[in-house]
Amino acid sequence: MPGESITTETSSGAGADERARGPVLHPVDRIMELLFGLLMALSFTGAMSVAQSGREEVRELFITALGCNLAWGLVDAVMYLVRTVIARGRSLTLIRTVRAAADAQAGRAVIENELSQTAAGLVSTTEVEAIRGRIVALPEPAARASLNRGDLLAALAIFIVVVVSTFPVVVPFALMHDVAAAKNASRLIALVMLFLAGFALGRYAGYGSWRAGITMALLGVLLVGAIKALGG
Backbone angles phi, psi at 40, to 5 degrees: -65, -45
Whole-number Å distance between alpha carbons of 218 and 214: 6
Q: What does the pLDDT average to over 114-120?
A: 78
Within 10 A of 26 (CB to CB), how many other CB atoms are there? 12
Report the C-alpha gap between 83 and 81 in whole angstroms.
Answer: 5
Rounded Cα gap, residues 201 and 217, in angstroms = 12
Average pLDDT over residues 35-50: 68
Decide which of 67 and 50 is more confident: 67
Q: Give the tens place of pLDDT for each residue, 182-213.
A: 778 888 888 888 898 889 888 888 877 888 88
Angle at Cα 53 formed by Cα 50 and Cα 57, nearest 5°? 140
Whether this prediction's pTM lies above 0.85 is answered by no
> Can you give the pLDDT at residue 24?
61
Residue 5 pLDDT grade (very low, low, confident, very high; cuts 50, 70, 90): very low
